[in-house]
Amino acid sequence: MFIGHYAVGLASKKPAPRASLGALVAAPILLDLLWPIFLLAGWEHVLIEPNKNPFLRLDFVSYPISHGLVAVVGWATLFASLYFAVARYVSGAIVIWFGVLSHWLLDYLVHRPDLPLYAGSRLVGLGLWNHRVATILVELAMFGVAIWLYLRQTKAWDKIGTFGFWGFVIFLLAAYAGAAFRPPPSVKAIAIGALFSSLLIPWAWWFDRHREARKIIRKSPAQDVTLAGG
């Protein structure tokens, strides 16, 4: 899964409005930032295999350090703890912990049975990637809902907040289109490309700082009305 992970980051602004979007986006993509490091170090392994379905062109031979469920819980706890130590924001730390864990859960939905619970464990995965159109529809739906939630939670107060956000969205959609239809060139290129995705974290932090929370007035216990438009 690709933009589905970013969808989690955008949607996380609702339960943790005071958290920086940079941190909220970093959480669900953290495993895919660790993976290329371990891949280049030779600690984890992937192969490229020919397949008409672009989602099935990577054979994840071994990646228990970055994507094993037990390790993921550890990464989530470490990242959330570091965030709390800096921000002192309990809700943000909890959301970030679940954000990291969400990566494994979403990968479990789409991967073939290649996800480990721990090193040497049986491999699991529901295999949505076997159905390319369904995978794309699910991810686009998730991304659309996340955009709606983020826009409902925040409003831009200058052009950076507006164009920075929409540029981020368009870039992710273009990158997803490339990943969904273009064969991977090499394992090293995949790893380097994955590392460059870390630049999306400061991008998200940047435009989010140029947006502010929408003011909500409660008219009745069952109804909220947004005062700010745009």
Average pLDDT, the chain: 91
What confidence tier does 223 reach under pLDDT thresholds 50, 70, 90?
A: very low
- Name the residue among 32, 62, 36 with its Cα closest to residue 47: 62
pLDDT tens figures, 101-114: 999 999 999 999 99
What confidence tier does 216 reach under pLDDT thresholds 50, 70, 90?
A: low
Could you tell me where the DSSP H helices lie in 42-186? Answer: 64-67, 69-87, 90-110, 132-153, 159, 165-181
Q: Give the pLDDT mean for 158-180.
A: 93
Check pLDDT > 90 for residue 140.
yes
